[in-house]
Each structure stands twice: as structure tokens, then as C-alpha cells.
Structure 1
Amino acid sequence: MSEKICPVCGVTLPEQAKFCYNCGSKLVEEIKVLVCEVCGYENEVGSRYCISCGSILTGALESTAEKESGRRIDIEFKPSKVQEHKKEKEVKQRKRKRFKVSSTQIFYVGLAVVFLGLVAYGVMRKEKEKAVDVHQLPEINSEIMAEINKLRERVNSNPDDMQATLKLANLLHDVHIFDQAVEYYRRYLERNESDPDARVDMGICLFELGRVNEAIAEMEKALSYAPNHQLALYNLGVVNLAIGNVEKAREYFKKCIDVNPNADVAQKAKRMLEQHKF
């Protein structure tokens, strides 16, 4: 059975009741309207625009009642407990909505700050991945793994085979198995200490493993044997930039360019200087 609430005392009454049996108040039919915040005109529920001034309707519904004359007037009465609870619920919902929007905005602002804070490192990392991998990265498949296993057996059976040892280290480097690559580079460099290419490659693997100080040491040692080794100079710039040694990075990038400005790695060093506004 349909019910309605007495607007004065809040008692629940049958739908057909015209007077409240609790307080005796005369019951009038409530009409919900949308009041225009610009001109004050009362528009019908569901309207998007005010028919009086054309403004967008954004206000809350307001209650009115019809007198016997048929004109609309505002109902002035003390809100019932049910109505107060409903109003409090609506206020809480609006607050949650505002909070949700605010949180979203804060999230995106924070995300933008983090992005700006890491963009320099991200660009540097991308360039490093292009430059430090001297060998083109092949797809890791069964054939490559078979070749790695074959070389491993060959080296283990003949530790003096430095050619196979270096080839195994390079192949492990190419497929990003950096920890094992370092092991075989070390074996090779024990017999071929002055090979700058092998030292730079091992330094790259150490950097990828997060062993930055060791990486710098190996690359600097490569320069002691080959002072104009452009790849060593460039990668030392990259590694120093990654850990925040901006002045050192600038120094190495410029040295790399001075060795041979037309080389590909020199062009990459120029781009790094331009991108980071050294």
C-alpha cells in the first residue's frame, strides 16, 4: 500500500489521507520543481534548461505544494526526521563526488611530477640501450640457446680457448644474461687484460646489473689502454648521467665527440648534450 509522510511531525500516513491523525495538520500534495539559480523560475523536474532565461539547471529539487487555488507556494514546515536523514545522505554523496574528482586531479598532477622528474633518466636510458649494445640483440630461441650451451661445453672442456670464451661472453651479453656474461668476460680478461672492447662490454653488463661503481672502473680501465675509445667515452657519459654526475657526463660526451665528430656514437653524444641542455 502506498504511503506518505506528514510534513509537520513525520508520521507515516496512508496515501489517501488528507489530514494527519497524529498532529491534525492538513496534508497538501508536494510538487518537486527545479528552481533556476539565475532567474528563480520554477521549472519542471527533468528540465535541462530554464524555460524563462535559458540557463542550465544545476540546482537541487525543491518541494512546493498546491493550494486549492492551484498556485504554487513554498511549504514552510519543520523537516521530518526522514527528510533530514535524506538530506544528510544527499550532502554526503555530493561530498564524496567532490572528493573523488579532487583525488583524480591529485593523482594526475602527481603522475605528471613523477614523469617530469624521471624524463631525463628515461631519455638517457633509451639512448644507452641503443649505444651500449654493440651487438644487435637476437631473438632468444632454441638455436641461440643451443649455441650458448655448445660454447659453454667447449669452454669448460678447454679453459684455455679464449676465442670461445669471448664469443660465449658476447652471446650471453647479447641475450641479456648479464651475470653469466660478466663471469666469462672476467675469464677472458685474465688472459687479455688490455682488450678495451671486452672491458667496455663487461662494464655495460655490470651497469645493467646495478653494479655502477664496478662498471665505471672497467670502462675507465679500458680508456687507460685506449684513451680515444669512443664507445667507452660515450658509455661513461651515460653511466655518470644515470647516477647524477652531470659534470662528468658532460666531460665524457664532449671527449667522445672530439675523437671523431662524424661517428655514429659521436652523433648520439651530441643528442645527449642537446636533450639535457648541458
Structure 2
Amino acid sequence: MIPQNNKIKFNNIKSRNRYFAVIGLIVVALLVVWLVRKPAHQDSVQSGQDGQVHSEGDGHEHEMPNMQAVVEEISQLEKTVAANPQDFESLLALAHRYQDTGQLLKSINIYTKYLQQNPTNADARIDLGVSYYQLAFEDTIQRMNLFQMAIAEMRGALKFSPKHQLGHFNLGIVSLQSGNIEGSRNWFNKCIEIDSRSDVAKKAKEILEQHIK
């Protein structure tokens, strides 16, 4: 596991558009749809058709209300966490909202802080990996390093949840974007093995057929 630093900073962050400069084998729409947060209470998985990222996680609803409501929610969560640092539910919710609004450095720092106290939460660890992955498209200098950090966190999550299907899928995506074709193939195949009838398995099959020869 790559050590985390609550003060981590990266250079050359050009945009808060988390899809800017996504190039290569996977189209932007695929990343929007399939880096998803699966609700813990088994609600329907949101597809992100509105252009918002829905990263794999622990049940936080990610359909975005109007921006003013989001700003107010973040402000309230910040106050709640400041008043009670042991309110880990609010801390995690704050990390989610930072990620939703493109405040990726903040989301990384808060996910890291949360995981220091809740290290076995596989969903939150995958969320952290997704934030690193998204940041890679904003920081051209650190891109490959950020891909590796994303992979490290997602692999770490699988130690606590070995059958985490979306975790395997996300590892396939990040590996493919980082140029590790064989690794990507392996992750997508493992994703399919977990539940071949699921939507995410069907998408993994599609990627294997269309983008990985």
C-alpha cells in the first residue's frame, strides 16, 4: 500500500472537469457510467447519465441536486466534522461530496483520514482510488504515479472484499488506461467470473471484445 499524506499536493492541475484529456481506448461515456458507486442497501446503481461521476462506494446517494444545495450540504458537513471529528459517517459523506464536485485533493485527504480509522472499508478505499484516477487526468506530470496510487488502493480494497465485482472492473479500467493490457485483461476476466450475468460483467465483456485483443 502506498503511504498516504493528508497534505498531499500535485502539480499542473489544469481543470476540474474530471473527464478532460481522457484519451486512449475507453471513451469518456464509459468512464462516466462504470466508475459507479454501488449503494450498500442494494438500491439501483446510478449510471451517471447527467455527467456526474458515481464512484464505487458505500451507499452515499450520488444524484446531484442543484449546486447551491450541494454547497450548503458541504458547508454543513464541514461544520459537523469540525465539531465532532469522530463522526465518521459525516466524514465519509464529506469525502463523497468533495469527489462529486471535483475537489479531488480534498476528497483524497478526507478519504485518507477516514481510512486511517476505518481501514477495512473496501468501498471507501475504492473511492479513494477513483479520486486518484480522476486526478490523473488533471495532473499531466503525475499521471502515471496517480494511476499506480489508484491501483494500489483498489487492490488494497480487495484484501477486505475479494469478490468486490466493481472493484475488479475499476482495476481493469485503470490498468488499461495506464497501458497494462495484460493486467487489464486479467481484472476484467476476474470481474466476469464473480457474476457473469451482472451488468458490469457484460460491460467488462464488451471492453474485452472491443478494446483488448
- Normalised to the residue count of structure 2, the TM-score between the two structures is 0.70
Matched, 1:129 2:36: no
1:140/1:207 CA distance change after superposition, 3 Å: farther
Map residues 183-198 of structure 1 onto 2, 5 A cutoff.
Answer: 183-198=109-124
Q: Which residue of 1 aligns with 2:43?
A: none
1:128 Cα offset (Å): 2.1
Q: Distance in 2 between matches of 1:216 and 1:265?
A: 19
Matched, 1:256 2:160: no
Structure 1, gaps ≥5 residues long: 1-117
Is the 8 Å Cα contact of residues 165 and 194 (structure 2) preserved in structure 1? yes
Q: Which residue of 2 aligns with 1:95?
A: none
Is the 8 Å Cα contact of residues 170 and 181 (structure 1) preserved in structure 2? yes
Q: Distance in 1 between matches of 2:132 and 2:79?
A: 24
DSSP-derived class of the 1:121 partner? coil
Q: 1:244 aligns with which of 167, 171, 179?
A: 179
Letter of the 1:150 partner, please give it: Q
Letter of the 1:121 partner, please give it: L
Q: Distance in 2 between matches of 1:206 and 1:157?
A: 28
Q: Distance in 2 between matches of 1:209 and 1:189?
A: 19
Q: Which residue of 2 aligns with 1:218?
A: 153
Letter of the 2:86 partner, please give it: D
Q: 1:146 aligns with which of 49, 72, 96?
A: 72
Map residues 5-20 of structure 1 onto 2, 5 A cutoff.
Answer: none
Is the 8 Å Cα contact of residues 25 and 211 (structure 2) preserved in structure 1? no
DSSP-derived class of the 2:85 partner? coil
Q: Distance in 2 between matches of 1:276 and 1:122?
A: 8
Is the 8 Å Cα contact of residues 128 and 235 (structure 1) preserved in structure 2? no
1:130 Cα offset (Å): 1.3
The runs of 4+ residues in structure 1 deviating greater than 4 Å are: none
Is the 8 Å Cα contact of residues 181 and 212 (structure 2) preserved in structure 1? no
Q: Distance in 1 between matches of 2:155 and 2:164?
A: 10
Letter of the 1:129 partner, please give it: V
Q: Which residue of 1 aligns with 2:105?
A: 179
Larger radius of gyration: 1
Is the 8 Å Cα contact of residues 127 and 268 (structure 1) preserved in structure 2? no
Determine which structure has the larger strand proportion and give its number: 1
1:119/1:181 CA distance change after superposition, 3 Å: closer
Is the 8 Å Cα contact of residues 139 and 175 (structure 1) preserved in structure 2? no
1:176 Cα offset (Å): 2.2
Matched, 1:167 2:167: no
Letter of the 1:197 partner, please give it: D
Q: Matched residue pairs, number?
A: 160
Q: Which has the higher contact order (CA 8 A, sep 6+)?
A: 2
Q: Distance in 2 between matches of 1:174 and 1:230?
A: 22
Q: Which residue of 2 aligns with 1:101?
A: none
Letter of the 1:160 partner, please give it: Q
Letter of the 2:34 partner, please give it: A
DSSP-derived class of the 1:200 partner? helix
Q: Distance in 2 between matches of 1:120 and 1:183?
A: 28
Structure 2, gaps ≥5 residues long: 1-21, 38-53, 55-61, 137-145
Map residues 81-100 of structure 1 onto 2, 5 A cutoff.
Answer: none
After superposition, the CA RMSD in angstroms is: 1.7
1:119 Cα offset (Å): 7.0
